[in-house]
Structure 1
Amino acid sequence: MSSNISKSLNVLIGLTGSVATIKANNLVSDLSSAFSKIGISVNIQIVATESALFFYNKIPNENNCILYTDKDEWSSWNEKGDPVLHIELRKWADCLIIAPLDANTLAKIANGLCDNLLTCIIRAWDPKNPIFVCPAMNTYMYEHPLTSIHISSLLSYFHVIEPISKSLACGDVGVGAMASTPDIARFVSSFFSQPPSSA
């Protein structure tokens, strides 16, 4: 692992209501490791939807990341002039990684809905900064025609890290499992290791 850290990056992880949320600690660790190898120190914060908390609360709290939820969006604002959390997080983050991206949040994003902290961040997002999405759902849900339509609608603005085929949490075998956290980390870090394109 390289100790030659040349710059830092603010990374926001979005967790949604898929069982793959239990891999959040692994994702944080793998991202830190992958970026360190290319000389980048990452500051990671997490935003979780209400359904993601069902899974997130079942894992050890060992990633040392600040966790934001929908309750924080409302409790942080009292009067005109107070900071608005989804705007402040949008300003802070250099990139957003939604891993896992469940079918419900995928449909919300594809249709422009913003009814929670995470989707409000996405709606306010600076298009110059990348968003990486990692779909994760049951094979039947992934193979539904609407899923293909929704994912296709994201391709112009988002970097889609395709799900993989494996034995799913429900016991089914098929495509729909979130890509492995090392693969996600390599994909994202390689994006930032590329030299900027000339105008």
Structure 2
Amino acid sequence: MARITLAITGSIAAYKTVDLVSSLKKQGHSVTVLMTQAATAFIQPLTLQVLSQNTVHLDVMQEPFPDQVNHIQIGKETDLFIVVPATANTIAKLAHGFADNMVTSTALALPDNIPKLLAPAMNTKMFTHPATQSNLKTLESYGYEIISPKESLLACGDFGSGALADLEIIIERIKETLNEQTL
């Protein structure tokens, strides 16, 4: 099965990645989890480590193996890179080539042939803001496929587009992307 690198950023929707990791593992995939510091405020790395049966990577400066650069090696050992949930902050960093955390450094170091998916989750105003929309278009031009958020009541109490897509949709997009890679 596939080696999937799941990048989790600091959104309340991060809790949904527990079910995502569990589902991907049940399908036989290997899942490597990367987290931003903000993501750890919403979900504990240990939870994801137990479910993925892999080390959760938090710090780009932590190099567990002296003979390799961790964020480079992770990119070399993945068949699919996905950011769930993708915050406006991380989207902006990815669009502009920032490499200041484990998620952005690994993304920037990915080989060109690795498929990249991104599932935004944020407040409606943040999602529809011209800067975010421009950053998403930039990422599409870099080869990212965007899994559109759904319209829903958001955690902040607003209603609109910005809620993380349903996990079934995310999982289906992962399957489709992996199938395309094997053709």
TM-score (norm 2): 0.90
**77 and 190 in structure 1: CA distance in 2 versus 1, 3 angstrom threshold:** closer
Q: d(CA) in 2 for partners of 1:195 and 1:99?
A: 20
Aligned AA for 2:124?
Answer: T
Aligned AA for 2:41?
Answer: F
Q: Which residue of 2 aligns with 1:141?
A: 126
Deviation at 1:58, TM superposition (A): 9.2
Q: Which has the higher helix share?
A: 2
Aligned AA for 1:113?
Answer: F
Q: Which residue of 1 aligns with 2:90?
A: 105
After superposition, give the CA deviation of every residue in 1:47-93 in whole Å (9 maximum; x if it has no partner): 000001100129955524421101xx323269xx6311101111111
SS in 1 for 2:29: strand
1:56 aligns with 2:49: no
SS in 1 for 2:2: strand
Q: d(CA) in 1 for partners of 2:155 and 2:38?
A: 16
2:139 counterpart (154, 158, 169): 154
On the 8 A contact 2:6/2:31 being kept in 1, the answer is yes
Deviation at 1:46, TM superposition (A): 0.3
Deviation at 1:97, TM superposition (A): 0.9
Q: Which residue of 1 aligns with 2:150?
A: 164
Q: Which residue of 1 aligns with 2:104?
A: 119
Deviation at 1:143, TM superposition (A): 1.3
Q: Which residue of 1 aligns with 2:58?
A: 69
Larger Rg: 1
Q: Which residue of 1 aligns with 2:174?
A: 188
On the 8 A contact 1:142/1:176 being kept in 2, the answer is yes
Aligned AA for 2:14?
Answer: T
Q: Which residue of 1 aligns with 2:31?
A: 44
**117 and 194 in structure 1: CA distance in 2 versus 1, 3 angstrom threshold:** closer
SS in 1 for 2:156: coil
Q: Which residue of 1 aligns with 2:69?
A: 84
In the alignment, structure 1 segments of 5+ residues that lack a partner are 1-7
Q: d(CA) in 1 for partners of 2:138 and 2:162?
A: 18
SS in 1 for 2:177: helix
1:13 aligns with 2:13: no
Tell which deviates more after alignment, 125-134 or 52-61: 52-61
Aligned AA for 2:95?
Answer: A
Length, aligned pairs only:
180
1:128 aligns with 2:116: no
Instruction: State the identity %.
Output: 31
Aligned AA for 1:28?
Answer: V
TM-score (norm 1): 0.83
SS in 2 for 1:99: strand
After superposition, give the CA deviation of every residue in 1:114-134 in whole Å (9 maximum; x if it has no partner): 111111111111110101000
CA RMSD of aligned residues (A): 2.1
In the alignment, structure 2 segments of 5+ residues that lack a partner are none
